[in-house]
Amino acid sequence: MADTTGMADLRAENVERIVTGFAMQEYVMKQLVMSQKSSSWQESYYKESKAELEGGTGSSVKGVPRLAGFPYGEVSWTKASSYLEKYGMEGVISWEDAVTNNIDVIARTLLRIARAVVKAVDSEIWDTLSEGQTPSTINSVTIPAGSEWDSATVANRDPIQDVLNAIREIEIDNYNVHNGNGYLVLNPTDYANLLGNANVRNAGQFYTDDVTKNGQCGRLLGLKVVKSNTVTNDYAMVVVAKECGTWKEAKPLSVVTIEDPGIKYTIRAWEVGTTQLTNPEAVCLIENTQA
């Protein structure tokens, strides 16, 4: 029995609520950054200098003499700006397909349209945090040729040391990777290479969480391991989540079904925001020289 237009519309509204929750679970990169509301098209922010303050020549922080003045310290910041961007997609379904197809085309279209927006936002966050895989201000570790995680010489594979090297680079800059917000982000191929490595298996360095969500699939060296196809092949990244950057959000993900009775349904999803790399030193890109 075919649904009436009103019944189909009611079903679509129920699906919209389900889809929004589903889409939020699809975000992987957004959990790496702090989310803040925005009401301006241009967002400015300041990058703080990473160097610890010192008193300067002849004015040491240590050993201040009695009755002497205190050494002077001054923090410096560099101003940067970014502009909000709109992410969106829509699809159109005929009224006939919506009420007579064996497949629930409205539900499936809602899912795929919402997922497309999610993927675009995740890709933008990855590109910003990794600086387009061309590091200039973030830390980076390069895996030597012949020592890749899938190297033909098995003995040369050492992903644990590569991750430790990335942790080292971040902690040298005074960020705590093991404060509960340390993440290792990689794609499914490198995730398989990581878990297949004998050092990881035999040393018992890897364990899984009770719940897998938003791409999280375990822990390694105190880091939450996250896999996503958004991550470029032959790259991985260690990041201190929330400290490294911010997602400025003017409009959260919205999904709607617009009915033209008896003719069609338009499925539309959109989101407005921008990513800011506020603390580059809280990120370390692991690069495979064969990428």
CATH number of the structural domain spanning residue 231: 3.30.2320.10
Local confidence band at 277 (pLDDT 50, 70, 90 cut-offs): very high
| Per-residue pLDDT at 201 exceeds 90 | no
Sign of CA dihedral 12, 21, 237, 227: negative
| Tokens encoding 27 | 């975000």
Query: Average model confidence (pLDDT) for the chain?
Result: 82
* Same domain as 284, residue 265: no
The pLDDT assigned to 10 comes to 39
* Same domain as 100, residue 162: no
Sign of CA dihedral 261, 262, 263, 266: positive
Q: Total domain count for the chain?
A: 2
Is the pLDDT higher at 16 or at 272?
272
* Same domain as 139, residue 117: no
14-18, 104-108, 271-275: range with lowest mean pLDDT: 14-18
* Same domain as 264, residue 229: no
Q: Which domain holds residue 257?
A: 5-48+81-130+246-276
- Is residue 14 situated within a structural domain? yes
Residues 225-236 have pLDDT tens digits of: 999 989 999 999
